[in-house]
Amino acid sequence: MSSDPQQTPATFRFEPHAAPVAANERAQRLVDPGFGRVFTDHMAMIRYSDAEGWHNARITARAPLTLDPASSVLHYAQEIFEGMKAYRLADGGTALFRPEANARRFNRSAQRMAMPDLPEALFLESVERLVATDRDWIPESDGGALYLRPFMFASEVFLGVKPSSEYLFMVIASSVGAYFKGGSPAVSIWVSQHFTRAAPGGTGEAKCGGNYAASLLAQSEAIRQGCDQVVFLDAAERRWVEELGGMNVFFVFDDGSMATPPLNGTILPGITRDSILTLARAEGLMVREEPYAIDQWRSDAQSGRLVEAFACGTAAVVTPIGQVVSPEGRFTIGDGGPGARTQAIRTQLVAIQRGQAPDPHGWVKRLD
């Protein structure tokens, strides 16, 4: 046994599913898959131990895991994940969008959570092999995609509090339809008062399950307040707008400029966020990464200086924000519906992702 943790397994084993879903049954499941409920036949899996490094890489039949009840992830939540999509191109090929950015972010999350680095090549190979194996699960429908969920968790059987000495890295794939049918309706958001998502020095910029666990009560409160989503303010001053539970936020002003909160350690560095910034700057538009206060948001919406706001992330791409609700009352952005600029950004990004528009930044990685 080698003890070099940086070693990469020489081969991925391929263990095809003995009884994959039949083509007609699969077609039925893909008619209206929704989000995150329809899963493909296979999954990728790589084990890690301090002694052996990354080993036992395989694509295998998707199946439940057997976990010892003392597996440390179940107690101390040492877990990180990614979210990305494989698209079907107009010519029938498949493509990923900026997968290297997901691989890099995965390792930044791993470092924050005291987990081992996964060589980027292994991350990418896992994702690409799974997509190649299960490519028939990409829906043909408009807006359909294969949502990929790479994740890693602590699998050592030990109740002591320390970084685990063993991990499991996996990728599962879910056929998804358009997040919103018939374009994106504007959503309403609740400004969380008591609960914050991330504090300076905390795990806000890591994509870890624990951040989501901590956001669920605030999200439930938003629903109780009649809103669709929650927006979090900074933990120190409860003043600066940070992001939604799982999406970054942008503001569009009447002079044509845009702004988004800066990456200051408490905000998740979204790849959609970065793509929108890059596209806007390439067009010579004025985009600021600067703190924006909730009171300013309200007064700018009321004065008309702020004309649009939207949230962004891989799952829903770009989602217009129509109403913002807090105990101080409710304010409407623009006419409360999807703004023209928001829709144009969404259309531009989706066209690049699906190979329907030029890709000047080399973001689309064609697989076949």
Ligand X SMILES: *Cc1c(COP(=O)(O)O)cnc(C)c1O
How many residues would you count in the chain?
Answer: 368
- Shortest Cβ distance from residue 349 to ligand X (Å)? 10
243 in contact with ligand X (CB under 6 A): yes
Q: Which of 268, 321, 333, 352 binds ligand X (CB under 6 A)?
A: 268
316 in contact with ligand X (CB under 6 A): no
83 in contact with ligand X (CB under 6 A): yes
- Shortest Cβ distance from residue 56 to ligand X (Å)? 28
- Shortest Cβ distance from residue 248 to ligand X (Å)? 5
In angstroms, the CA 148 to CA 314 distance is 10
In angstroms, the CA 225 to CA 188 distance is 10
In angstroms, the CA 348 to CA 360 distance is 12
Q: Which of 133, 188, 229, 248 binds ligand X (CB under 6 A)?
A: 248
3-state secondary structure of 63: coil
- Shortest Cβ distance from residue 246 to ligand X (Å)? 5
Looking at the Cβ atoms of 118 and 206, the one nearer to ligand X is 206
- Find the part of the chain contacting ligand X (CB under 6 A) among 88-96, 116-124, 269-277, 284-292: 269-277
3-state secondary structure of 367: coil
3-state secondary structure of 34: coil
Phi first, then psi: give them for residue 230, nearest 5 degrees.
Answer: -110, 145
- Find the part of the chain contacting ligand X (CB under 6 A) among 168-176, 227-235, 268-276, 278-286: 268-276
266 in contact with ligand X (CB under 6 A): no
b vs e for 295-310, b when ≥16 Cβ sit within 10 Å of the residue's Cβ? ebbbebbeeeebbbbb
- Shortest Cβ distance from residue 291 to ligand X (Å)? 17
99 in contact with ligand X (CB under 6 A): no
* CB-side neighbour CA atoms (13 Å) of 233: 19
Amino acid found at 177: G
Q: Which of 47, 58, 129, 207 binds ligand X (CB under 6 A)?
A: 207
Contact residues for 30 (Cβ-Cβ < 8 A; gap 6+): 38, 137, 139, 140, 141, 144, 175
- Find the part of the chain contacting ligand X (CB under 6 A) among 156-164, 243-251, 252-260, 353-361: 243-251
3-state secondary structure of 113: coil
Q: Which of 53, 144, 246, 320 binds ligand X (CB under 6 A)?
A: 246
175 in contact with ligand X (CB under 6 A): no
Q: Which of 109, 126, 192, 314 binds ligand X (CB under 6 A)?
A: 314
Residue pair 340/110 in contact by the 8 Å Cβ criterion: no
Looking at the Cβ atoms of 207 and 354, the one nearer to ligand X is 207
In angstroms, the CA 340 to CA 188 distance is 18
CB atoms within 10 A of CB 51: 12
- Find the part of the chain contacting ligand X (CB under 6 A) among 16-24, 133-141, 234-242, 263-271: 263-271
Binding residues (CB under 6 A) for ligand X: these are 83, 207, 243, 246-248, 268, 270-273, 313-314
